[in-house]
Structure 1
Amino acid sequence: MNEELEPVAELFKALSSSSRLRILQLLADGPATVGHLATASGLSQPLVSQHLRTLRSAGLVSVQRSGREAHYAVADLHVAHIVEDAVKHALER
């Protein structure tokens, strides 16, 4: 039973940063570049890139390259719903 929960624990580990949650919220509105995400989130570009790396390795975001630009998107709409539901739940207290 614990083996089945390990991927779930990894998902929650990737979601454990408020900065990563904010990035996922922004990406729920549509694909965006690192520069756009940095401006919208108030984080530095290197920090956004680091968080995107974590989110990509967890399979939560995907990237599509067009020349020198990389556009990041939520890999699965379920992820956006998880974040949205968690935010609503936390704010209900």
Structure 2
Amino acid sequence: MTVPPSYRAAPTNEPIRALQAASDLLKALASPVRLGIVRELSDGEKYVHELVAALGVSQPLVSQHLRVLRTSRIVTAHRQAREIRYGLTDDHVAHIVLDAVRHAQE
């Protein structure tokens, strides 16, 4: 199997802070609910009630996981009237999650 250059392991002289940042990102994603939120947001911004309906979990649980994702700067929030719409900060995270889900289904 040939790995594309952009996916190859970092050189051994990679600064530890870059590896720590990657580790922190993976820790923030280390929850089925958070992975589901990112998967849902890969289609575009959504309100909390839309995420609740799509994931089949409670609103407080979704809000708790959104807080973790916001703290990790994976998700952004935009107030619209009385509600908040959530979206992904960066599409790269969606690719990581969607690739991981596809891989797990193989």
The alignment's TM-score, normalised by the length of structure 1, stands at 0.93
Larger radius of gyration, structure 1 or 2?
2
Report % sequence identity.
Answer: 50
| 2:76 maps to 1:68 | no
Letter in 2 for 1:27: L
- Once residues 24 and 102 of structure 2 are traced to their aligned partners in structure 1, the CA distance between those partners, rounded to angstroms, is 22
Give the helix-richer structure, 1 or 2: 1
- 1:36 corresponds, among 50, 74, 82, to 50
What aligned pairs does 1:1-93 form with structure 2 within 5 A after superposition?
1-92=15-106
Match for 1:49: what amino acid?
S
Q: What is the RMSD computed on CA atoms of the aligned residues?
A: 1.0
Which consecutive unaligned segments of at least 5 residues does structure 1 have?
none
- Deviating 4+ runs (over 3 angstroms): none
Per-residue deviation, 1:3: 3.0
Unaligned runs of 5+ in 2: 1-14
Q: TM-score if structure 2 supplies the norm length?
A: 0.82
- The whole-number CA distance in structure 1 between the counterparts of 2:78 and 2:20 is 28
Task: Tell me the SS of whatever aligns to 1:73.
Answer: strand
